[in-house]
Every structure is written in C-alpha cells, then in structure tokens.
A and B are shown apart, each in its own frame.
Chain A
Amino acid sequence: MREIYAILTIAYRDFMKLMRDPARLISTLIMPLLFITVLGGSMQANMGKGLGYDFMTFIFTGVFAQTLFQSASMGIVSLIDDRENDFSQEIFISPISRYSIILGKIVGETLVALTQGIRILIFGLVAGVTFSAGQLFGLLWVGVVICLFGAAFGVILLSNLPSRRTADQIFPFIMLPQFFLAGVFNPIQILPWYLDILSRISPLRYAVDLARGIFYSGRAEYGKVVLQPPMLNLGIMTAAFLVFLMIGTYLFVRSEQNR
C-alpha cells in the first residue's frame, strides 16, 4: 500500500508542477500549434488537392502522437537533473523502492503529456479539423498508450545518459530525426530502402501510425495514410515497452549507486 501511495505522490507532484507553471503550460503548446496551423495549413493550401486526403488532419494526428511521445520521454529524462537538485534528492533518499520511483514518474509524466494532448485535441477542433465522438475516444485511449510507450523510451534513454548536459546535447539528435522518419509531417508511404530501415527502428513511427490507424479507421483515406494495421503497431509497441522498461529500469537502478 505504501508503495502505491508513494507512486501516487510522485505522479501527483509531476502533475501539480505543470499546473503551477503557467509559462510551461503555454510554451509546450506553441510548437504543436505552429506545426498544425502554419505547416499543416500551408501544405494543405498549396499541395492538398493532389494528395487525396486533408493534410492538416494528417499533421494534426502526427503531431498529437509526437507531442505525447516526446513529452512523456522528456519528462522521464528530467529525473537526471532532479537527481542533482531540488525535491528528487528527497525522493531518491526515501525508503521507497527505485521501481516505485520509475513507476510514479511514468504515471506522472503520462498525466502531464495527456494534459497537453487534450489541449491539442481542443485546438484541432478550433482550427477546423473535424472528428467524430468515436474518433475522439479512439485518440484518447491511443494517447494513453503512446504516453506509456514514450515514458518507457525515456527510461531507456535515462539509464544511458550520465548527466543533464549530455541529455541536452543528445536529445535533438534522438528526437528530431524521428519526426521525419516517423512521418509526423511528411508522408512516408514510399521511402528509399536506407530511410525505410531507419524509419522502422524509430519508436515514434509506431506511435504515429497507431494514432492514424485508429483515427482513419473505416475512412476512405485509410489506405493512403496508414502504414500497417493498428494491432500490429500495438503489438510492436507492447513488446518494445516491456523491453525498454525492464532493461532501462535495471540499468538505472544499478547505475544509481555505483559511481
């Protein structure tokens, strides 16, 4: 019971931290909104006719998945600098299990990312993306799955990063290529073989494709937008989630004491 309370506490703290930080609430939303309106809107206006599907909706679904994935994984990586300052020194010294810390952090960062995801959904509606209640429900549960998947990816990054400095230097190289390899803004139905390999090893690809697979399910555009069946994406993500989490947690717990 005590470990469960501890997990709740850690998660609650992450969530409260976001809610008390209005600047962060706004700044985290700016990039996704730029992508959807400026990039999506301009591409749709100029090239939309030849595609056979609405480009703004395409980017909207991609950015939705990408934002959740990135927010959750970056949130987990923040355990690095937390280790050196502020409250998490306190968390790391408390008599709770290291596994509870990771778990609490995953739950917390999932909540934080979902808060962002919901705001993106609302903004999408305002910007003119249309979706039914069924599609909304689909995106919500897919959103939770993507957050957990992103968090597990964060755990494996965390366990291999020695310091905040390294994390800041490496993060763009890990995230930015995935934007393009996962097809967040660009169709990747056809890729040269070498990009195809890189795309298939990008975890974000499966998250984005799962979101679109659910969103476009039963629609005319499905064949043009979705790469593979949602169940296949879900299977790959579940397997990767377990592997990331087990290896990452093991390495993290081990490296914490052996400096």
Chain B
Amino acid sequence: MTPIIEVQRLVKCYRGSASNAVDDISFNVEPGSFFTLLGPNGAGKTTTISILTTTLAPSSGVARIAGYDVADCSSEVRQNIGIIFQQPSLDFNLSAEENIRFHAILYGLFPFYPTFRTMPRGYRERVDELAAMVGLENDMFKQVKKLSGGMRRKLEIIRSLLHKPRVLFLDEPTAGLDPASRRNLWEYLRNVRQKSGTTIFLTTHYLEEAEEADTICMINRGRILAYGSPQEVKGRLIEVYVLVDAADRSQLRSELLRLGLAFSETPLFKISLDGRGVQEIIKAIETPLTLVKTHIPTLEDAYLEIMEHA
C-alpha cells in the first residue's frame, strides 16, 4: 500500500537557531491508520506537524501527503488534510454554525451566502448530521464564547471533518480538557476512523494517549528514538535488569563473561534479563554476591527515563 504520509530525511532549522528543531527524521504512515508522534515539550512535534500541514517550509528533506509534496503543492495538501490545533482556532464572536459555514466556503464546498437559511440544502443537511454526531444539535446557533471547552473541541472536530480530509492532524488536542471530555474525544475519533477511514496523525506528550495508536513514533530533540507498534515501543522502552555486586569484583566480572551474560558496570553490574528469569541468572552466578537488586520500571517511568537521558 502506498503510504498516505511519507517523510524522508526531514530537517528544520529555525532562523538564528544553532540546532535543528527537526533533525533528519524519516517515517511513513499507512492510509487509515492511527499514527502518534510522541515526545516531551520541545521535542519537535509541532514543528513536524507545521511542516506536514504546509505552514512551515522545511530546511531540507521531503514530505508528501497523499502523494503531494508539502513544499510544492501546498494547496492540494491543504485540501486533503484537516487540522485541530493546540489552541482553539474558532472565532469566538461568531456562532458555532458560522464557524462551520466559513470553513465550508474556504474549502470550496459551498458558495457564499450571508445566513444559514440561504445556504444550499446540502450544506444545512451536512451541518445537522455532523452536529448530531457529536451532540451539538442544540448549540449550533450559540456564540462560540458561550460554549464550554469540551463543546468547542467537538465543534472543531466536526469542522475539520467537513471537507472529508484523508488525514486528520491533531496537535495535542486534549490540552485543557477535563477527563470526561477527553474520553469523549477519543470515542469520536474512533468513530470517525471506523466510518470514514480517515488517517489520524496525533501528537501528544502523554504516553497513555499514544497507546491506542497503530504506530508510535517517539521523538526527542528532533530525532526519532523509537518507532513501531505500541507493543514494540514498550518492549524497547522497558528495560528489565538486575543489579548485582560482589566483594571480589574481578572474579564476578570474569564469571559473567564466562557465562556469556551481557552486562555493563554502572559501577554496579547491570545485567539485562532479555526474557530470562531473575532467579535463573542469580543461580548461575557462583561468586558470593553482596547485592542483588531488580529493576522493573512502569511504562511511564521508562518513558521519563528515556526522555531524560536522550
């Protein structure tokens, strides 16, 4: 299958900055999949999403969406994507419906008419349908400033789906939402994927939000640290090891070498389990040990650890 998003050796260095915000990253996204770009603040997530959504020119490298180069065919790319920004991008002085209507006109879906009543029937039906999907039927004619944060997010979602984009970008969409709205958001997105086959491209710094994805791409300081399914990334992240030490360190060292156990001295001897049981390893060692300590981090610990040391 041809990837819907192709990124090859992408680099972005902001003017006047010594280091690259995005530093030679490459990845592909399959059509219809749920892709997550995971990383802490300042990792290069927003820079990457800005390049992919054509608002920022890359310094070098290539990115294509639905086969269109983001640098050369920005208009075609824009037609094929929907975006939900970190900051709500609604006009608070306008009604919910007017925000939707302006989007529809800017994307060339319908001609311009000054009121909802005068808009074509196709438009009115689509608005009703989308509003019903997220439960905003009774709020479409209220001013956006009178809607709650969760309702605004819903409004942005249905707006971004209006022109049936092939890829929906979400840049940390749950920032500022309460847990209930957050869970609702994921439900709607699951729905949308099932119904329309839209590819979802999410950025987040929450590991648990990434767990739903088909593919996780973990970045920090502009580089890719881990890439794969959540299971694979977790496997890479969580390093289970046992720390041991002995009075006679040189004897322990040579014994470990003889046993063929991979280890590093930190200065304690750190032995990766690699699927073996702790007991199995300890039993094999004959040198009297003065310390045995196992390390089994949670996923969250592992993520933080990697981010700190990267």
Contacts and interface: CB of A to CB of B under 8 A. Distances in A.
Contact of A257 (B55, B87, B92): B55
Nearest to A21: B93
B103 A90 contact: yes
Contacts of B143: 20
Interface in A215-259: 256-259
Contacts of A86: 88-92
Contact of A9 (B54, B74, B76, B105): B105
A180 interface: no
B201 to A, nearest CB: 14
Interface in A51-107: 85-97
A93 B112 contact: no
Nearest to A24: B93
B85 A89 contact: yes
Nearest to A97: B75
A90 B93 contact: no
Contact of B94 (A16, A89, A97, A256): A16
Contacts of A257: 54-57
B235 interface: no
B297 interface: no
A190 interface: no
Nearest to A256: B55
Of A91, A93, A258, A259, chain B has the most CB atoms within 10 Å of the CB of A93
B78 A94 contact: yes
Contact of B103 (A92, A94, A97, A256): A94
Contacts of B53: 93
B107 interface: yes
B277 interface: no
Contacts of B94: 13, 16-17, 20, 87
Contacts of B88: 86
B108 interface: yes
A9 B90 contact: no
A17 B90 CA distance: 13
A165 interface: no
Contacts of B83: 93
B91 A95 contact: no
A19 to B, nearest CB: 9
Nearest to B85: A89
B123 to A, nearest CB: 12
A6 interface: yes
Contacts of B74: 95
Of A21, A92, A259, chain B has the most CB atoms within 10 Å of the CB of A259
Q: How large is the interface on B (under 10, 10 to 19, 20 to 34, 35 or more residues)?
A: 20 to 34
A258 B89 contact: no
B15 interface: yes
A16 B89 contact: no
Contacts of A95: 74-76, 78-79, 106-108
Nearest to A20: B93
Interface in B35-84: 53-57, 74-76, 78-79, 83
Contacts of A87: 89-91, 94, 99, 102
Contacts of A17: 91, 93-94
B122 interface: no
B20 to A, nearest CB: 14
A8 B112 contact: yes
A32 B250 CA distance: 89
A51 B114 CA distance: 49
A94 B54 CA distance: 10
Nearest to A19: B93
B176 interface: no
A17 B88 CA distance: 17
Contact of A16 (B87, B92, B93, B107): B93
A14 to B, nearest CB: 10
B227 interface: no
B263 interface: no
B111 interface: yes
Given A92-B55, A97-B75, A256-B55, 12 more contacts: A5-B108, A8-B105, A12-B112, A20-B93, A20-B143, A86-B90, A95-B106, A96-B106, A257-B54, A258-B15, A258-B57, A259-B56
Which 4 pairs across A and B sit closest by C-beta, in order of nearness? A87-B91, A95-B78, A94-B106, A89-B89
29 contacts: A6-B105, A8-B105, A8-B112, A9-B102, A9-B112, A12-B112, A13-B94, A13-B98, A13-B102, A17-B93, A20-B94, A86-B90, A87-B89, A87-B90, A87-B99, A88-B89, A89-B85, A90-B90, A90-B102, A90-B103, A90-B106, A93-B55, A93-B78, A93-B83, A95-B74, A256-B55, A257-B55, A257-B56, A257-B57
